[in-house]
Structure formats: C-alpha cells, structure tokens
C-alpha cells in the first residue's frame, strides 16, 4: 500500500546530564514546581547564560559519534524567537536554525541517513488551562536527531527507533523514563507535499500516526485532491492526525546568533577522548555474537539489547561455551530478572557465580531443574555455588540402579498412566518421568529417567 511512502523523523530526548544547560540548576523530574530554578533559567533581566554544561556537551558529542556523524568543530548557539508563556526570554537557545552548524552531520545509523544531531534548551512547562508555568524544566538540555526521509514503512520506523533507544541506553545518553518525542514527516511520494506531525510521544502512537496519515493522503490523491503542506498533531484519543497550521502560517523564528555565548570549539583531542570512551554498538555486538560466537540470533538480540547483560555474558563466555551460556541467559537469568524487576547491576551476584553454576550444568553434575532453582536463589544473594551444591547434596543421581529403583516404584504406583502409555497416550510417559524426577527433588536427569522407563515398559 505504501509503495512510495517516505518518512523522516526528528527525535527529541532529554540528555542525561544531571544539570541544566546554561546554569547550575539540577535536572530533577521529581522536584516540586519552581524549586530548581535561578535567574538564568527564568531569564530575569540582566541574567546571562553560563557556558554550556560540559556533561551535556560530552553526551551530545557521544551521540553524534555513535550515529556515525561528522563533527562540526565550531558550535554556534542561536536564538530562536517565539512568544509563548513557557519561554520567558522570548527565545530558545539552540544549535539548530538558519546559520547553524549542528554538533554532528551526515551520519548513518542502520541504513538510515542522519541529517544532523543538535543541542537545545527546553522551555518551561506551561498549562494552557490554568496558565500555571513550572520553570523547573526550563533550560534542560535536549538532543534532537534529524533523519533523512528514508523510511518506507511504519514498521521500519518502529524497529529503527527501538534500536536507536538501545544504542542511546548503551551510553546512558538520554533519560529513559522521560521517553522520546518525535516530529514525523510523512509523504506518499516524491511528487507530493509532506505533512509534519508534531510531538508524537510513543512508538505505538508514531506507528499509528504514520499509518493513519498515509491513508488520508492516498485517499485524497485517489479523489483527485492535493496533499497540502501542513503541520498536524496526533490525537491519541481519536486515533487521528488533526490540523494545526498551514504552510503559509509557518512560523518565522527570526534566528540570530546568541551574542551572550562564544562559539564553542570542539577540539580534535576532545572528540578523540569521547570516541575512545564509546562502547561497541549494540548491532555490532549482535552480529559478533551470531557470526563469531555462534549464538542463536534471537538470543543474541535479547542479550545485546542491554549493555549490562551483554557485559556479564561476555565475562561468562571466557569460561563457558557462548551458545550454552546464551540459552541460560535468555531463558533463565532473564526470567528471574523480570520476575524480581531487577537490572543486572541490582542482582548482587557476578560472573563468577554464574560461571560456577553453568559449569556444573555443562558437566551435568546438576540437573536443569536444580540449575533453575539455583539461579533463583542466587538472585536473593550470592553464595559459593560449588560448596552449596556439595553441602546440600544436589548433585545429579546418575547411578542407573538408584534411578531404576525409583522408576520401578513409580511404575508400580501408576498403573493408569502405564496403561494409557501402552494404549498410545505418549503424554503419560512425561507424567511418569516427572514423578521420578520429583522424587529425587530434581536431582535426576530427565533424559536418563526417560530412557530407563522406556526400557522397563
């Protein structure tokens, strides 16, 4: 349906820098209204901006480099003028605009061209209903990532944005709980005008907005009408894009260079220093896990999506086969983490504990069942796994006659299941195996039990 659909994105996120851009106020989303403010971020008469906060510059340069951009060496802040109650100075300081040199340009991320990466300050939070303005947010550093209009489907946009967020999380570049906002440009072909949808704030809404808007445009063209160059908004309640303003009414922001700030120079040494601190990109990790380590792609995708999990995995792989480790990471470790709602750094155990545990599994000294309960126990607090297994007598029962006795017992006590199995009910075999394994408190290997029972039936 979207044969010629073209979508471009402007992705906005809060930089995870700790401080506002041009003053010493903290960034704190939970602070009571109007408590993290000062004369600079409320633009009181006579106040001047301080130099942009170094932590924010570090993050924005890191983002530009992760997205394969070329860095501009001279950064020029501009004043972008508009009159809203959320903007006490009447202008916003930004590196975008008519005379701008964005921080990074001409990048590429997973096949999509990055037009520019730039930095700006956030306005205050204004409630149009009550007129109340909270200046806490005024001056927060924002990153804007502008792509070329190269996406051809909403699904592609969603997958790409997910990977972008993973990559940004690797360098802790944006505040994850604040999420992202996107301006989405949609056109249904090169000969047609594009419509900009402002401030769409979830992956789901972005997909819906693109699908809805492309349908509307194709329908208009089908009826012989023109697509007008417009700015719209996404109404999540109506599930529709709604008109905001026409091209003719497009804002003139009267950009001028900010006279209170010097041109910021990004030196070669500084960018080298940032570059050397960057981690391997998540999709590079994924390909390396698949191609060099032989890990299943679906497992590699899950593990590489979390830099801490990936770090733990790589340490464990020094001693354990990556394929074996990846299965246990994906299935069991993540199960426990999800259940406890804990991140890797909150688990309390490290690679040595997981390595001990997996080594016992690899050598089949403990059963899968025991392995699973030991991971759960480790998540409550670390302990010496080898010692615990010995002390608690958890090693697998492998002596055939021991298991054989238990099998005889179970067969004797379950005539119905035995009969069902002989009548062709194969599920009854699983029941019998489960009974034997349960009697050993999970210490018998289900595969061996199965073989022995089969022989006896």
- Residue 56 lies near Zn ion (rule: CB under 5 A): no
| CB of 28 vs Zn ion, minimal distance in Å | 12
CA distance 153 to 2: 7
| CB of 302 vs Zn ion, minimal distance in Å | 41
Residue with tokens 């979830």: 202
Give the number of residues in contact with Zn ion, rule: CB under 5 A.
5
| CB of 20 vs Zn ion, minimal distance in Å | 5
Angle at CA 2, nearest 5°, toward 153 and 116?
Answer: 45
Pick between residue 23 and residue 64 the one whose CB is nearest to Zn ion: 23
- Note whether 95 and 119 are within 8 A (CB): yes
Question: Which residue of 7, 11, 21, 25 would you call a contact of Zn ion, by CB under 5 A?
Answer: 25
Question: Which residue of 5, 7, 15, 23 would you call a contact of Zn ion, by CB under 5 A?
Answer: 23
Pick between residue 121 and residue 369 the one whose CB is nearest to Zn ion: 121
- Residue 31 lies near Zn ion (rule: CB under 5 A): no
> How would you label 312-348 residue by residue, b for 16+ Cβ within 10 Å and e otherwise?
bbbbbbeebebebbbebbbebbbebbeeeeeebeebe
Contact string 160-189 vs Zn ion (x = CB under 5 A):
------------------------------
Question: Which residue of 31, 38, 76, 216 would you call a contact of Zn ion, by CB under 5 A?
Answer: 38
CA distance 225 to 112: 31
Pick between residue 43 and residue 153 the one whose CB is nearest to Zn ion: 43
Pick between residue 50 and residue 308 the one whose CB is nearest to Zn ion: 50
Pick between residue 40 and residue 171 the one whose CB is nearest to Zn ion: 40
- Residue 124 lies near Zn ion (rule: CB under 5 A): no
Contacts of 128 (CB under 8 A, 6+ apart): none
Q: Which stretch binds Zn ion (CB under 5 A): 35-43, 116-124, 152-160, 423-431?
A: 35-43
Q: Which stretch binds Zn ion (CB under 5 A): 15-23, 147-155, 285-293, 385-393?
A: 15-23
- Note whether 349 and 382 are within 8 A (CB): yes
Pick between residue 124 and residue 347 the one whose CB is nearest to Zn ion: 124
Contacts of 6 (CB under 8 A, 6+ apart): 149, 150, 151, 152, 186, 187, 188, 189, 190, 194
Q: Is the dihedral of CA 47, 49, 53, 59 positive or negative?
A: positive
- Residue 27 lies near Zn ion (rule: CB under 5 A): no
Pick between residue 25 and residue 71 the one whose CB is nearest to Zn ion: 25
- Note whether 456 and 411 are within 8 A (CB): yes
| CB of 102 vs Zn ion, minimal distance in Å | 25
- Residue 41 lies near Zn ion (rule: CB under 5 A): yes
Task: Annotate 159-179 with DSSP letters as a single string.
Answer: HHHHHHHHHHHHTT-B-GGG-
- Residue 115 lies near Zn ion (rule: CB under 5 A): no
Per DSSP, helices labelled H in 223-350 are 268-276, 282-291, 297-304, 307-316, 322-328, 334-340
CA distances from 379 to 94, 316, 372 (A): 46, 16, 11
| CB of 79 vs Zn ion, minimal distance in Å | 18
Dihedral pair phi/psi, residue 328, rounded to 5° = -70, -35
| CB of 19 vs Zn ion, minimal distance in Å | 9
How do 78-81 and 74-75 pair as beta strands? unpaired
Both tokens assigned to 331 = 């299935």
Contact string 314-343 vs Zn ion (x = CB under 5 A):
------------------------------
Pick between residue 19 and residue 421 the one whose CB is nearest to Zn ion: 19
Pick between residue 24 and residue 226 the one whose CB is nearest to Zn ion: 24
List interacting residues with Zn ion (CB under 5 A): 23, 25, 38, 40-41
């Amino acid at each position: 349906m979207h044969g010629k659909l073209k979508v471009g994105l402007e992705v906005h996120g809060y930089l995870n820098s700790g401080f506002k851009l041009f003053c010493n106020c903290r960034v704190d989303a939970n602070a009571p209204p109007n408590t993290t403010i000062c004369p600079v971020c409320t633009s009181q008469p006579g106040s001047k901006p301080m130099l942009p906060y170094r932590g924010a510059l570090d993050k924005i340069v890191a983002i530009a480099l992760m997205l394969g951009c070329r860095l501009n060496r001279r950064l020029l802040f501009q004043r972008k003028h508009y009159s809203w109650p959320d903007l006490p100075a009447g202008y916003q300081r930004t590196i975008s605009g008519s005379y701008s040199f964005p921080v990074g340009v001409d990048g590429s991320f997973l096949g999509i061209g990055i037009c520019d990466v730039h930095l700006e300050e956030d306005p205050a939070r204004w409630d149009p209903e009550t007129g109340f303005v909270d200046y806490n947010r005024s001056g927060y550093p924002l990153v804007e990532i502008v792509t070329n209009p190269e996406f051809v489907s909403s699904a592609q946009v969603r997958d790409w944005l997910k990977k972008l967020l993973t990559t940004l999380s690797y360098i802790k570049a944006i505040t994850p709980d604040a999420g992202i906002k996107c301006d989405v440009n949609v056109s249904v072909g090169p000969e047609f005008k594009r419509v900009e949808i402002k401030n769409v704030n979830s992956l789901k809404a972005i997909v819906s907005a693109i699908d809805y808007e492309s349908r509307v445009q194709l329908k208009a063209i089908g009826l012989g009408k023109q697509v007008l160059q417009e700015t719209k908004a996404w109404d999540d309640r109506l599930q529709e894009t709604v008109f905001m303003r026409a091209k003719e009414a497009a804002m003139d922001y009267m950009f001028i260079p900010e006279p209170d700030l010097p041109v910021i120079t990004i030196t070669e040494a500084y960018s080298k220093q940032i570059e050397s601190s960057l981690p391997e990109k998540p999709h590079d990790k994924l390909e390396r896990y698949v191609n060099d380590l032989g890990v299943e792609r679906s497992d590699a995708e899950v593990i590489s999506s979390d830099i801490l999990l990936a770090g733990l995995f790589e340490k464990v792989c020094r001693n354990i086969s990556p394929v074996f480790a990846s299965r246990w990471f994906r299935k069991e470790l993540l199960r426990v983490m999800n259940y406890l709602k804990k991140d890797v750094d909150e688990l309390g155990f490290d690679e040595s504990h997981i390595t001990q545990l997996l080594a016992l599994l690899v050598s089949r000294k403990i059963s899968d069942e025991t392995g699973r309960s030991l991971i759960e126990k480790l998540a409550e607090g670390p302990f010496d796994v080898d010692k615990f297994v010995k002390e608690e007598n958890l090693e697998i029962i492998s002596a055939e006659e021991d298991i054989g006795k238990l099998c005889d017992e179970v067969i004797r006590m379950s005539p119905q299941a035995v009969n069902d199995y002989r009548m062709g009910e194969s599920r009854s075999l699983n029941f019998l195996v489960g009974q034997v394994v349960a009697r050993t408190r999970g210490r018998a290997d289900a595969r061996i039990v199965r073989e022995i029972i089969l022989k006896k039936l």
